[in-house]
Amino acid sequence: MKRNMKIATAVTAGALAVGGVLAVGPVTADPGDAAPVAARTMYRTGPAHGDHQARGHGDDATGMRHHDGPCTGTGLASRGTLTAAQKTTLAGMAEEEKLAHDLYTAFAGRYDARVFERVAAAETRHLTAVRTLLDRYDVTDPTAGHKAGVFADPAVQATYDRLLKQGQDGLDAALKAGRTVEADDIAALTGALSGLTAPDARQVYTHLLAASERHQEAFDHWIADE
């Protein structure tokens, strides 16, 4: 399909790596965010070999770098201190990442739009990174043991159900549901970063924020071409 040759905007290169291992190096937003969109497109939604050439050696389908090793948080900043409210926010972040992953996976199975499959893959890595923080700060993982589409927080469950139903009305509706998820994540992450001093949590949240901004931009481009 013509749709499968569409250029989609990649999430931040060198952000959260495969298996939840964080890329070594300073945590900064992708400087490409300030460049024209055409200069920031980093992967194609076509065949895998074309994707590899477009992204460059060592990148996965979301523009993230591959790193070997177990999920040990290599490159993660030092542990800090979280208030009780910040721990609650951290637990909420896990549910938000799971919501995004489960929703995009459902849409990927329904529509021929690879943006869902690829952003869902990124959300898997994001959830792994959040879980690393949950473990560091002895916070119970609210997503543990829950199947796809099932959430501990009734409000998150209601949001998922509403967006899933919205996305069943057609591809355009599903893309708009994805954009809503990313807009909500951007607002939540921006708020969570305010007053946050723990270096590792700031590092992860900063990467998640940059990724959500790119995901939102990707959905916007798909919506514009519908």
> CA–CA separation, 226 vs 210, rounded Å?
25
pLDDT tens across 4-39, in order?
A: 433 333 333 333 333 333 432 333 333 233 333 332
pLDDT tens across 187-216, in order?
A: 999 999 999 999 999 999 999 999 999 999
Question: Whole-angstrom distance between the N-terminal and C-terminal Cα of the chain?
Answer: 13
Q: Which carries the bigger pLDDT value, residue 67 or residue 121?
A: 121
pLDDT for 79 equals 97
pLDDT tens across 48-97, in order?
A: 323 322 232 232 333 333 332 223 356 899 999 999 999 999 999 999 99
pLDDT for 75 equals 87
pLDDT for 226 equals 73
pLDDT for 74 equals 63
pLDDT tens across 130-147, in order?
A: 999 999 999 999 999 999
Give, in degrees to the nearest 5, the angle at Cα 151 between 117 and 23: 50
pLDDT for 12 equals 34
What is the full DSSP assignment across the chain? -GGGG-EEEPPPTTSB-GGGPBPSS-----GGGGS-HHHHEEEESS-HHHHHHHH-TTB-TTSPBP--S-SS-TTPPPP----HHHHHHHHHHHHHHHHHHHHHHHHHTTSS-HHHHHHHHHHHHHHHHHHHHHHHTT---TTTTPPTT--SSHHHHHHHHHHHHHHTT-HHHHHHHHHHHHHHHHHHHHHHHTT---HHHHHHHHHHHHHHHHHHHHHHHHHHT-
Domains and CATH numbers, the chain: 2-224 (1.20.1260.10)
